[in-house]
Amino acid sequence: MNYLVPSLFLAAVTCCKATGNTSDTQIIPDKENKTTQIYISSENADVSRLVNAGLCDFLMGYQESAREYFLTAVQQDSECIMARLGTLMVSKPRSEEYREHLKAVNELLEAAVLTPVEEWYVSTLLQYLNGDYAGAAAAFKERAELYRRDVLAGCFDIVLNHYSVGKGGELMQRADALVERFPHNRIVHYCRALLEEHSQKPSEKALASAKKAVSLSDGHPSAALLTGHLLSHSGKAQEAREYFTTAIKNSFPNSEINAAARLYGPAVLIQTGDKKRWVEALKQARTLSQNAAEAPPSDAADMLLYWEGKSYLLRMLVLQPTPPAGPAINMAASSCNAPADHPLKAVQDCLVAAIRTRSLADTGRAGIAATTLLQAEQHLQRFQREGETMLQQGGIYRTCYRRAERACMGALYRAKMAIYKDSESIWKPHLDELLSLPDERQLPPILPHSRLK
State which amino acid sits at residue 118. Answer: E
Residues 277, 259 share a domain: no
pLDDT value of position 166: 59
CB 358 within 8 A of CB 415: yes
Whole-angstrom Cα distance, residue 423 to residue 348?
27
Residues 226, 175 share a domain: no
CB 93 within 8 A of CB 451: yes
Give me the number of domains the chain comprises: 3
Q: Which residues contact 212 (CB under 8 A, 6 or more apart)?
A: 186, 189
CB 268 within 8 A of CB 277: no
Residue 16: give the domain boundaries.
6-188
Residues 320, 204 share a domain: no
pLDDT value of position 299: 76
Residues 329, 212 share a domain: no
State which amino acid sits at residue 169. Answer: G
Cα distances from 148 to residues 4, 36, 180, 302, in angstroms, run 19, 16, 12, 40
Q: Which residues contact 362 (CB under 8 A, 6 or more apart)?
A: 322, 323, 418
How buried is 177 (Cβ within 10 angstroms: 0-12 exposed, 13-18 middle, 19+ buried)? middle
CB 22 within 8 A of CB 149: yes
pLDDT value of position 443: 56
Residues 151, 53 share a domain: yes
1 in a structural domain:
no
Q: Which residues contact 183 (CB under 8 A, 6 or more apart)?
A: 27
275-291 and 256-269 helices cross at what angle (nearest 10)?
A: 150
103 in a structural domain:
yes
Return the number of other C-beta atoms located less than 10 Å from residue 103's C-beta.
11
pLDDT value of position 167: 61
CA angle, 373 then 396 then 88, to 5°: 175
Q: Which residues contact 78 (CB under 8 A, 6 or more apart)?
A: 104
What's the gap between Cα 422 and its chain centre? 41
CA quadruple 159, 165, 166, 169: dihedral positive or negative? negative
Of 243, 264, 285, which closes a domain?
A: 264
Of 188, 209, 241, which closes a domain?
A: 188
Of 230, 264, 298, which closes a domain?
A: 264
State which amino acid sits at residue 307. Answer: W
- Nearest Cα to Cα of residue 49 among 76, 14, 78: 76
421 in a structural domain:
yes
84 in a structural domain:
yes
Residues 247, 147 share a domain: no
Residues 222, 176 share a domain: no
Would you write out the chain's pLDDT as a tens digit for each of its 453 residues?
232 222 222 222 223 333 333 333 233 344 444 434 788 888 888 999 999 999 999 999 898 899 999 999 999 999 999 999 999 988 877 788 888 888 888 888 888 788 888 899 999 999 888 878 888 889 999 999 998 889 999 999 999 888 876 566 688 999 999 999 999 999 999 999 999 988 888 999 999 999 999 999 999 999 999 999 999 888 888 899 899 999 999 999 888 888 888 888 777 777 656 667 777 777 777 777 777 777 777 777 788 888 888 888 888 888 887 888 888 888 877 777 888 888 999 999 999 999 999 888 888 888 888 999 999 999 999 999 988 888 888 778 888 898 899 899 999 989 898 888 777 778 788 777 777 766 666 555 554 444 433
Considering only CA atoms, give the Rg of the chain.
24
Whole-angstrom Cα distance, residue 417 to residue 423?
7
pLDDT value of position 2: 30
pLDDT value of position 6: 25
- Nearest Cα to Cα of residue 150 among 116, 127, 126: 116
Whole-angstrom Cα distance, residue 50 to residue 56?
10
Residues 253, 375 share a domain: no
What's the gap between Cα 365 and its chain centre? 43
307 in a structural domain:
yes
| Largest separation between any pair of C-alpha atoms in the chain | 80
96 in a structural domain:
yes
431 in a structural domain:
yes
pTM: 0.77
Whole-angstrom Cα distance, residue 94 to residue 445?
19
- Nearest Cα to Cα of residue 92 among 82, 80, 83, 102: 102
Residues 351, 444 share a domain: yes
CB 232 within 8 A of CB 264: yes
User: DSSP secondary-structure letter at 405?
Assistant: H
Residues 446, 300 share a domain: yes
Residues 179, 251 share a domain: no
What are the residue ranges of helices labelled H in 270-365? 275-291, 300-319, 326-335, 343-362
User: DSSP secondary-structure letter at 26?
Assistant: S
400 in a structural domain:
yes
Residues 216, 289 share a domain: no
User: DSSP secondary-structure letter at 438?
Assistant: P
